[in-house]
Amino acid sequence: MGDPTRISYLSVPDRDDVPEGVSRLWDKSQEAFGFVPNVFRGQAVNGEQFLAWWRYFNLLVNKEGHLSNADRELLAVVVSSVNRCDYCAVSHGAALRTFTGDAVTADLVGVNWRQAGLGEREKAMAAYAERLTLHPADVVEDDLQPLRDVGLGDHEIVELVQIVGMFNMTNRVSTALGLVPNPEYHSIGRP
């Protein structure tokens, strides 16, 4: 299974090698979660670029918006599952379990959202996220109609598209760097 202490294909910087903003974020994470997410450590090789990514990611995912936290995490897990991004599927699966309080459904979404018993609104969002992930060049205006049919307006649609785009980029970075999910994620949100 390889080196269990390795979290990335690259060397991970020490505190002394990162900008102050990165070390502050590591400290906040340690305080809030009891650990520093490996994505925060692995991407910190280029500290300023990591912080720029984090600001946008945080704006889209960790704030009050037009979609609920559970909606955003559903999108994250669907995109990450389709892209086979272990790190993001596991870490955002933990967040989905937390926001929904439903570990079984969250786990099923991570494997195959079609088998997860989602409601019509969630199914429409998952289908669009999958289509935009797998076939971005084929997406047309008509693809928005199922989202509108389940009550999403322009603000929700833009947020959905931005989140799907963010996770496609983040999945590619996490996969390319070989980031390994923190072991703590596996127990979060489970009874």
Evaluate whether the domain defined by 15-62 bears CATH number 1.20.5.810.
Answer: yes
The torsion region of residue 64 among left (phi > 0), alpha (psi -120 to 50) and beta comes to beta
Q: Which residues contact 162 (CB under 8 A, 6 or more apart)?
A: 60
Which H or E run contains 21? helix 20-33
Average pLDDT, the chain: 96
The fold for domain 69-176 equals AhpD-like (1.20.1290)
In this prediction, what percent of the chain has a pLDDT beyond 90? 95
Taking every pair of Cα atoms in the chain, the longest distance, rounded to a whole number of angstroms, is: 52
Q: What is the pLDDT of residue 19?
A: 97
> CA angle at residue 9 from 178 to 59, to 5 degrees?
50
When pLDDT is averaged across residues 85-95 and rounded to a whole number, the result is 98
**Domain boundary assignment for the chain:** 15-62, 69-176
In DSSP notation, 103-147 reads HHHHHHHHHHGGGS---HHHHHHHHHHHHHHH-GGG--GGGGHHH
pTM score, two decimals?
A: 0.96
When pLDDT is averaged across residues 117-137 and rounded to a whole number, the result is 98
Residue 165 CB: number of other CB atoms within 10 A? Answer: 15
Pick from 188, 170, 164: nearest CA to 73: 164
When pLDDT is averaged across residues 80-100 and rounded to a whole number, the result is 98
Tens of pLDDT along 19-72?
A: 999 999 999 999 999 999 999 999 999 999 999 999 999 999 998 999 999 999
When pLDDT is averaged across residues 155-170 and rounded to a whole number, the result is 98
